[in-house]
Amino acid sequence: MGPRRWWCLLAVALSAAGGAGAQETCSGAVPEPPRRGAWMSVASFGGAGDGRTLNTQAFAAAVARIERRRAPGGALLYVPPGVWLTGPFSLASHMTLFLARGAVIRATQDTSSWPLVDPLPSYGRGRELPGKRYMSLIHGKGLQDVFITGENGTIDGQGSVWWDMWKKGTLPFTRPHLLELMDSSDAIVSNVVFQDSPFWNIHPVYCSNVVIRNVTIIAPHDSPNTDGIDPDSSSNVCIEDCYISTGDDLIAVKSGWDEYGIAYGRPSSDITIRRITGSSPFAGFSVGSETSGGVENVLAEHLNFYNSGFGIHIKTNTGRGGFIRNVTVSDVTLDNVRYGLRIAGDVGGHPDERYNHNALPIVDSLTIKNVQGQNIKEAGLLKGIPKSAFSRICLSNIKLHGSTAVRPWKCEAISGGALEVQPSPCTELTSTSGMSFCTNSL
């Protein structure tokens, strides 16, 4: 097939989410890619999609050619149908990575061939172990105008070897992500399947203007720490129309870890999440627990979670510092979920003993509304920090039902208001002072 057909396919892939009529969408939040000035296939660089040939050098050579050529509008790297075994590789600016229908980019399970990279400055060390960390399978740093899309091809992390090392305690360094974009802007990830990541699946960190939509992310429920999408110290991020079923939080908004995140000081802000469906032994939607740079102005709506531990989980800890504020979660459907809602100030560990025990997070202005749940076991736990009570928490139109009586709300060190909540809200949310904020926020 000639290049013209692939331009057409790319346009269809990127516009698919916009065909839903009046549905709100982030289409247009990141400019649609210009017509790429060059088209090339990984097969032209010595690659073979036979599932046995290691294609790391073929991907690297193709990306290097894109960087050297500097074609007007950038270049599209086409991955044909087949199984393309590879180690980690990096992307370039003004580039589209396009996976054809039936294309699989499959990670090698030879862990010795994975390069190490420096820890993130806002974490100060690898997330799991001190020191460096393994590079993500697909990596981008300092990029602009980068797109990962296609005809629902698959990026397969073959994570079982990493999960086994984690379970046995034999990991030498922190496990790799499937996709990590650092210090990058104007990125779209769409119409791709992410499967069996060694660690977190999609991790935009220190990024701006990122859209992730029409993505499927799957991993077994017993796969450790396989978060779906974790926007981290990033701004203007939109995640919509995704199905996620993994072994950890489906979506977790983060911003750095304890003293390192405080020093780096880059919040996650202006995050939009909508029309997400999925299942997890942990949370469907979460904020934290690493929030030391701050999290603000988050809207999550039209969420559907089932067979999960928590519907909504907002979590931080003493020593985190930072803030979580102006978060709205609305129009949520839950089925067979243990906790409908948990907001807690005692969740998550610390990178080392140098964190400031007096660095208390500020949690303020959280609105949870229009939540319907069936087969719920516990309504939820709202537990602030005694020296830094969580304030202006508004619960509205929340109806949680179970096959037996739903265990009641538990509250401590919080204030706010509650309207039309079942089971009946705790007394901390029925005070007159908190009701005015709740009424005004709806």
| Residues classed as catalytic | 248
Q: How far apart are CA 98 and CA 302, in angstroms?
A: 29
339-375: b (≥16 Cβ within 10 Å) or e: bbbbbbbebbeebeeebeeebbbbbbbbbbbbbbbeb
Residue pair 245/279 in contact (Cβ under 8 Å)? The answer is yes
Q: How far apart are CA 430 and CA 195, in angstroms?
A: 45
Residue 292 falls in which region: left (phi positive, over 0), alpha (psi -120 to 50) or beta? alpha
Residue pair 63/114 in contact (Cβ under 8 Å)? The answer is no
- In the block, tokens 């057909």 appear at 5
The tokens of 156 are what?
């397969």
Residue 263 DSSP class? H
Alpha helical stretches, state H, 159-214: 160-168
Instruction: Find the angle CA(139)-CA(141)-CA(143) to the nearest 5 degrees.
Output: 110
3-state secondary structure of 322: coil
Q: Which residues pair with 83 in a beta bridge?
A: 50, 104
Specify the length of the chain in residues: 442
Q: How far apart are CA 279 and CA 299, in angstroms?
A: 20
Q: How far apart are CA 186 and CA 142, in angstroms?
A: 11
- In the block, tokens 């061939």 appear at 113
CA separation, residue 234 to residues 206, 238, 265, 291, 426 (Å): 5, 11, 11, 12, 35
Residue pair 370/330 in contact (Cβ under 8 Å)? The answer is yes
3-state secondary structure of 22: coil
Residue pair 228/204 in contact (Cβ under 8 Å)? The answer is no
For residue 397, the tally of other CB atoms under 10 A from its CB is: 17
CA atoms within 13 A on the CB side of 188: 28
